[in-house]
Amino acid sequence: MLQSLIFDMDGTLFQTDKILELSLDDAFNHLRSLNKWDTATPIDKYREIMGVPLPKVWEALLPNHSIEAREQMDAYFLQRLVENISSGKGALYPNVKEVFRFLKENHYSIYIASNGLTEYLKAIVRYYQLDQWVTETFSIEQIESLNKSDLVKSIIKKYGITNAAVVGDRLSDINAAKDNGLVAIGCNFDFAQQHELSQADIVIDDLLELITIVPQLQRL
């Protein structure tokens, strides 16, 4: 009997695309002002690796920069993301609140497990008031390995979860479900890749489909 759903944040609940390019441009403009970058903002490269922890993002985007420079960029980027979220420049995916309301009314527990940083996640949860439905939001920062499977494992352990589904758009979400014996629900949204989604147990094109799918899983 399904008890809980564990959702990814970026590309699953939150339309990261709406603030991604804006915030990345802000960050690289800052780098340009320091004379440490002189070409275009690598937005396409970021899209390719979207979903990995931010330290790995900066390794990929700034391979020739020092660790210190990457850490400074990380902090500045986070600041811009939070400010852009708090000023209403982002958006949830359609039907997030409707689905959360349905799940809560039908006694499912809702968790968020994200590769995003804690302050970034707090900004989204606060702005969209998601904490009225979400039991707890977990950041990859809480896990030394930076592995989402380990993050989901920590949620299972903390809350004594035995039956759940992980809902997300990338392979890390699917693996997090499979590695922990949970149902993997893949979201065919903006950052999804077909070869990754093919490994999910179920694939959805709209979160609203969960209202039909979850009760069916309940009966399994």
Q: Are residues 46 and 144 in the same domain?
A: no
Q: Where are the beta strands (DSSP E) in the chain?
A: 4-7, 109-114, 136-139, 164-168, 183-187, 202-204
Are 166 and 74 found together in one domain?
A: no
Question: Does 42 share its domain with 130?
Answer: no
CATH of the domain at 138: 3.40.50.1000
Residues 51 and 38 in one domain: yes
Question: Based on the domain organization, do 145 and 211 belong to the same domain?
Answer: yes
- Chosen domain end from 32, 60, 86: 86
Do residue 134 and residue 124 come from a single domain? yes
**Residues 199, 96 within the same domain:** yes
Residue where a domain terminates, one of 47, 68, 86: 86
Pair (105, 65) in one structural domain: no
* 21 and 8 in a common domain: no
- Residue of 32, 34, 35, 56 lying closest to 45 (CA atoms): 56
> Among 180, 207, 208, which Cα is nearest to 7's?
207
**DSSP letter at 52?**
S
Q: What is the pTM of this model?
A: 0.88
Domain that includes residue 40, residue range: 17-86
Q: How many domains does the chain have?
A: 2
Are 68 and 113 in the same domain? no
| Whether residue 147 is found in the same domain as residue 199 | yes
Residue 163 has a CB neighbour count (10 Å cut-off) of: 14
User: Would you write out the chain's pLDDT as a tens digit for each of its 220 residues?
Assistant: 789 999 999 999 999 888 988 999 999 999 999 999 999 999 888 888 876 777 888 999 999 999 999 999 989 999 999 999 999 999 999 999 999 999 999 999 999 999 988 999 999 999 999 999 999 999 999 999 989 999 999 999 999 999 999 999 999 999 999 999 999 999 999 889 999 999 999 999 999 999 999 998 865 4
Residues 206 and 155 in one domain: yes
